[in-house]
Amino acid sequence: EINVKDDQVVEWIVHNYDIVFSLHCKQIFPASLVSRVACFNFHPGFNPHNRGWYPQAFSLINGLPIGATIHRMDEQIDHGGILGQKEVTVSPKDTSLEIYNKVIEAEKELIKEHLISIIDEDYTLHFPSEEGNYNGIKDYERLCQLDLGSVGTLENHIDLLRALTHGDLKNAFFVKNEKKYFIKIAISDS
């Protein structure tokens, strides 16, 4: 593992590499790196919508496009010129895990389509017309604690549970009588 918060490591990268790839890296690349070396992020979100943590969950809840993005990194998180994107189709029965798996497949397709053009420096970047939004880990943690008094449509509540259901992970929970109860949803079609 390379620590990009270490200035000496950043200097070593700058002097030894022309391109850096970030694939699900949880470190924030500093301006001292992204301004001096072409850094590309393979992001499991459809930028600029819901940049940051768990983009598929926030996109599902907010009714925004879900997919994968390759972008040239700048000093902001999941931000910068976009090289390529793939949107995924989401079924009403898909939970966060199924959606995430579709996004990973879209990322693999993007890598196959664009890797050589990145290496050959033969690409065009486009910039979104809007900034979008960013969701951090704390935003996701707040989502996980369900408000039993929440008012909304049944569809909104189902989408929230779908967004928080990710395999065996215990994400969604509510507290009753000082005890924590975990909940997930399973939906099947006919």
Catalytic (active-site) positions = 43
d(C-alpha 115, C-alpha 70), whole Å: 10
CB 39 within 8 A of CB 16: no
CA 120 to mean position of chain CA atoms: 27
Polymer length of the chain: 190
Q: Which three-class secondary structure string do you get for 99-163?
A: HHHHHHHHHHHHHHHHHHHHHCCCCCCECCCCCCCEECHHHHHHHHECCCCCCCCHHHHHHHHHH
Q: Output the CA–CA distances (angstroms, integers) from residue 63 to 59, 66, 156, in the order listed.
A: 6, 9, 10
d(C-alpha 162, C-alpha 102), whole Å: 15
Which helix (DSSP H) or strand (DSSP E) does residue 87 occupy?
Answer: strand 82-87
